[in-house]
Structure formats: structure tokens, C-alpha cells
């Protein structure tokens, strides 16, 4: 019996030091790398900020990277990946004073598309990005190809990684249902749902420029129009002023120029 207990304690200590070491290593990588040039190079959201806000963005990027683990599967994660993943996390929450993704511990990065053999929910584009549920809770899977495309000139209204982080915001109230109750005052909930359903009808009738993937359900609608809001704010404001106003209220950001 004593032997078993001693064995267990030794095992627990080894596991503790192993994990602590890993965490320390991750923190060390974050502390060492200067992501500023990469942010300036790839992230137009960051480039558009004034100097003070840029500093705040950098701090939020560091905070995010210090709190989660990014693992590559079949690939080595580099600073470029770290800068883009962290930016995708920070952009939707940039309007909030303090926000930590409580429901995320790991981001798993695949070089390209991956299949859906995991316990993941809701993603038809499940080859590009997913947020885990069940035993995969706290995990996000991203395709690097999609991650990079989202920040390239080819992205248009789409950004897969931002889409996935918006799902996490949505999920923070316990339900991924397109209604981020933590972020939206109660009186806005019904107007928001009405707006969603009206726009879904327009998409179905072929009378909307919003990605048809949005009609999957309310959660996908929210994530898809959030991509549009962050990628093409001026266009969204011009073509869908009410939608723009609502998203501006939810994210506490005014992204359009005028």
C-alpha cells in the first residue's frame, strides 16, 4: 500500500514538473518573440489603430498567447502562426475592457484542411476550423491555409479564425446559439433574432451578399456576419446598416470609416 501511495506521489510530482516545464517553455517563447513586425505586416486591423491602441493590441496578444497552448499537427508552429491566431482572438474582443477566453486551452494547427473525425460541433466548413465540444471542450482546430487566407488580400468578407473565436464568445454564456447573452443587453435579444431571421430569408431568396453558409443556423449566422463586420466594415455599414449597428453594439467597436 505504501509502495502504491509513494508511486502515485512520484508520478504526480513528475507530471506536475513536466506540465510546469511545458507551460514555462511556452511563456518563454512568447516573451522572447517580438510579434510587432508581424502584426504590422499581416494584420490590417492592427495597422489601422493609433499608437496607443496598437500598444493595447500587443498587450492583449501577449496575454492571450501566455494563457493558451498552440500545437502543430504535422507542422511546426511559428511566430507567423502565433501572431495570426492571437490577432484572430483579440480582434473580436478588442472593444471589451477585460476579456479572457475561459473556454479555450489549446489551439491545434493543421497545415491544411482536416477531416471531421473529432467531436466538434456545427462546422460545415469543418475542414477549415472548428470549436470543440464534449471531450474536446476547450480545443480549437484551425487550418493554417485558412488562417493565412483570412489575413490575405484574397480573404474578402471571410476570416475562418475570427469566425471560430466568435463562436467562443457566443459559447461563453453556455450556448452556441447566435445570441451572445453576455454581450447583448436583454432588450436587444428579440430584435437581434428578428434581424437574423429576416436576413436569412433574403439569403435564401438570393437577395443578399452574405455568405449563404450563414443560413445554417443562428450561431453560424452570427459568426459569418461577424467576419463581414471585421473584414469589410464599410461595405457592411453601407449594405446592411441595421446589421452593422447591432454588431457594433455587440462588439463595442465602430469599425466603419464614416
Residue 242: CB atoms within 10 A of its CB come to 11
Could you tell me how many residues of this chain bind Zn ion (CB under 5 A)?
3
Of 86 and 219, which CB lies nearer to Zn ion in the complex structure?
Answer: 219
Least distance in angstroms from the C-beta of 216 to Zn ion: 8
Q: Which residue is nearest to Zn ion (CB)?
A: 223
Min dist. Cβ of residue 125 to Zn ion (A): 7
How far apart are CB 167 and Zn ion at their closest, in Å?
Answer: 5
Q: How far is the CB of 51 from Zn ion (least distance, A)?
A: 34
Q: Which residues of 182-221 are buried (b: 16+ CB within 10 A; e: fewer)?
A: ebbeeeeeeebeebbeebbeebeeeebebbebbbbebbbb
- Report how far residue 221's alpha carbon sits from residue 41's, in angstroms, rounded to the nearest whole number: 30
Site residues for Zn ion, 212-241, by CB under 5 A, read 220, 223
**Helix or strand or coil: residue 110?**
strand
Question: CB-based contacts of 2: which residues, under 8 Å, 6+ apart?
Answer: none
Taking CB under 5 A as the rule, does residue 168 contact Zn ion? no
Of 86 and 223, CB closest to Zn ion? 223
| Identity of the residue, 77 or 226, whose beta carbon is nearer to Zn ion in the bound complex | 226
CB of 130 to Zn ion, least distance (A): 8
Query: Is the CB of 87 or the CB of 159 nearer to Zn ion?
Result: 159
Q: Which of residues 72-131 bind Zn ion (CB under 5 A)?
A: 123
Q: Which is nearer to Zn ion, 30 or 93 (CB)?
A: 93
What's the maximum distance between 2 C-alpha atoms anywhere in the chain?
A: 73
Residue 17 grid coordinates: 514538473
Question: CB of 26: closest distance to Zn ion in angstroms?
Answer: 27
Query: What is the DSSP code string of 122-191?
Result: S-TTTTTEEEB-GGGTTEEEEEHHHHHHHTSTT-TT--HHHHHHHHHHHHTTS--SS--TTTS-HHHHHH
Residues of the shown chain interacting with Zn ion in the complex, contacts defined by CB under 5 A: 123, 220, 223
Amino acid at each position: 500500500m505504501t509502495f502504491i501511495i509513494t508511486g502515485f506521489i512520484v508520478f504526480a510530482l513528475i507530471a506536475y514538473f513536466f506540465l510546469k516545464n511545458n507551460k514555462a517553455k511556452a511563456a518563454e517563447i512568447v516573451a522572447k518573440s517580438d510579434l510587432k513586425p508581424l502584426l504590422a505586416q499581416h494584420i490590417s486591423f492592427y495597422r489601422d489603430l493609433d499608437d496607443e491602441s496598437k500598444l493595447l493590441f500587443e498587450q492583449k496578444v501577449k496575454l492571450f498567447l501566455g494563457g493558451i497552448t498552440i500545437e502543430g499537427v504535422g507542422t511546426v508552429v511559428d511566430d507567423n502562426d502565433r501572431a495570426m491566431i492571437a490577432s484572430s482572438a483579440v480582434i473580436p474582443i478588442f472593444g471589451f475592457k477585460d476579456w479572457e477566453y475561459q473556454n479555450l486551452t489549446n489551439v491545434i494547427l493543421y497545415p491544411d484542411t482536416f477531416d471531421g473525425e473529432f467531436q466538434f460541433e456545427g462546422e460545415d466548413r469543418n475542414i477549415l476550423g472548428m470549436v470543440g465540444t464534449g471531450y474536446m471542450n476547450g480545443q480549437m482546430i484551425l487550418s493554417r491555409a485558412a488562417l493565412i487566407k483570412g489575413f490575405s488580400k484574397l480573404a474578402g468578407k471571410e476570416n475562418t479564425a475570427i469566425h471560430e473565436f466568435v463562436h467562443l464568445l457566443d459559447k461563453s454564456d453556455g450556448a452556441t446559439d447566435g445570441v451572445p447573452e453576455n454581450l447583448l443587453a436583454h432588450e436587444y435579444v428579440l430584435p437581434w433574432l428578428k434581424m437574423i431571421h429576416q436576413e436569412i430569408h433574403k439569403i435564401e431568396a438570393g437577395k443578399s451578399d452574405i455568405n449563404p453558409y450563414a443560413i445554417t443556423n443562428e450561431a453560424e449566422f452570427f459568426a459569418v456576419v461577424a467576419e463581414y463586420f471585421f473584414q469589410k466594415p464599410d461595405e457592411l455599414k453601407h449594405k446592411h446598416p441595421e446589421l452593422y449597428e447591432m454588431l457594433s453594439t455587440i462588439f463595442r467597436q465602430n469599425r466603419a470609416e464614416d
